[in-house]
Structure 1
Amino acid sequence: MKMNDEKMGSASGVVIAVSKSDKHTFSKENCNSIKLLKGLGVEGDAHLGKTVKHRSRVAANPNQPNLRQVHLIHSELLDELKDRFNVAAGQMGENITTKGIDLLELPKDSLLYIGETAVIKVTGLRNPCAQIDQFKSGLMNAVLDRDQQGNLIRKAGIMSIVLESGEVHPGDQVRIQLPPLPHAPLERV
């Protein structure tokens, strides 16, 4: 689905899986639910915190704000990859796997209302790293593309921060609220 200037509620999708890992592993385990904590991320996940938890970013500057509290991937990417890589929800490190939302087309600062109370704010694109090829050889090239102008397209999902706490379950609706115009495109975070 292509994003226009839709109002909240007119554009929506659904959560098909939720995942977390309390260790810095590439893949995360599917769960019956996850709890999003305001300003922190996913309870029980290794990336929980106000400051950055991604190892390479901690090494560069451990005091950076954590703009990668919740990672989302659209299941349509998993469908695209299934014949060559057989990748399932959670295996690419995402916390929330969605269906019916073109996550990559969302502008920066879009709000996603998930389930009854959770609200997250989109901060940017996931920048896939070498761990992707360690998981499945060749997967890095499959999640990178080029547009007609030759610009790099990162397809490995989006990152977000938690604005309002709440439980998230498979089957929960995801409602989108776009930020005010002009919209800023997503960049890697």
Structure 2
Amino acid sequence: MTGRIRSTNLAHPKPDPGTPRTTGIDKRPVPAVELFTPGPRYGDGPGVAGDLIGDAQHHGGAQKAVYAFSREELDWWEAELGRGLSDGMFGENLTTEGLDLEALLVNQRLRVGEEVMLEVSIPRTPCATFQRHLGERAWVRRFTERGRCGAYLRVVVPGQVRPGDPIEVLEPPQHDIDMSTAFASAMGDDEAGRRVLAAQCLPPMYHERLVHRFAPAR
């Protein structure tokens, strides 16, 4: 499975209505982005030089270093919503083409261009900021029902990414949990959640959440 980078995007800061924060969800195309490995915790910043995180309590850090979303899904939503959606509109740093992001397995590695190595991390979960940004009613529910969330990526080998860079999917990990299944689990699907728990493929904090979620009632 191969694809390519269509667009590299950085935050265009704007106020997040109803909050005291500035949000970086509105991403705009730039000629290239420089990726690096941030610290492990939320609030340690993004893995993209010059990007902005407005909600440091829930975003940033090594597990959410870079966000990718496909142009094919943006096209689907354009038809569904009856409006144009530019690259970066869903908050993605990397807009991809020709690659089914939701079919990638958790912890699968991707070679991007000649130098960068990324690793599939966790699914994106839609939030109120995303809904306010798009201005669509019931957006969180609609995005969840669609089931195609893109992917957060870790930065294993840092470097520069440019539009047109190829994306090579490397050897799969030893489990069958893809982004679609991980997203269903994160959004409350218990059958998917038990599969993800059994695979023990998520980062420790996210795995422990599942352990508590499915712990026998006392």
Counterpart for residue 179 of structure 1: 172
Q: TM-score with structure 2 length normalisation?
A: 0.67
> What is the identity, as a one-letter code, of the residue corresponding to 2:151?
I
2:173 partner SS: coil
Q: Summarize the Cα distance change of 1:26–1:180 in structure 2 as closer, same or farther, 3 Å threshold.
A: closer
Q: TM-score with structure 1 length normalisation?
A: 0.76
Judge conservation of contact 2:36–2:159 (CA < 8 Å) in 1: yes
Please point out which of 39, 42, 45 is paired with 2:48: 42
Q: How does 1:106-117 map to 2 (within 5 A)?
A: 106-117=104-115
Greater fraction strand: 1
> What are structure 2's unaligned runs of at least 5 residues?
14-22, 40-46, 187-205, 207-218
Counterpart for residue 103 of structure 1: 101
CA RMSD of aligned residues (A): 2.3
Identity %: 24
Counterpart for residue 78 of structure 1: 74
Please point out which of 5, 10, 24 is paired with 1:20: 10
CA deviation after TM superposition for structure 1 residue 144, in Å: 1.9
Larger radius of gyration: 2
Counterpart for residue 121 of structure 1: 119
CA deviation after TM superposition for structure 1 residue 37, in Å: 1.4
2:29 partner SS: strand
Greater fraction helix: 2
Higher RCO, 1 vs 2 (CA within 8 Å, ≥6 residues apart): 1
Counterpart for residue 58 of structure 2: 57
CA deviation after TM superposition for structure 1 residue 22, in Å: 7.4
> What are structure 1's unaligned runs of at least 5 residues?
1-10, 48-52, 59-63, 147-152
Counterpart for residue 170 of structure 1: 163
> What is the identity, as a one-letter code, of the residue corresponding to 1:78?
L
Counterpart for residue 92 of structure 1: 90
CA displacement 1:144-186 (0-9 Å, x = unmatched): 226xxxxxx3x23110110001111111100001433223333
CA deviation after TM superposition for structure 1 residue 92, in Å: 1.1
Judge conservation of contact 1:71–1:158 (CA < 8 Å) in 2: yes
Judge conservation of contact 2:108–2:173 (CA < 8 Å) in 1: no
2:63 partner SS: coil
Please point out which of 60, 66, 78 is paired with 2:62: 66
Counterpart for residue 29 of structure 1: 28
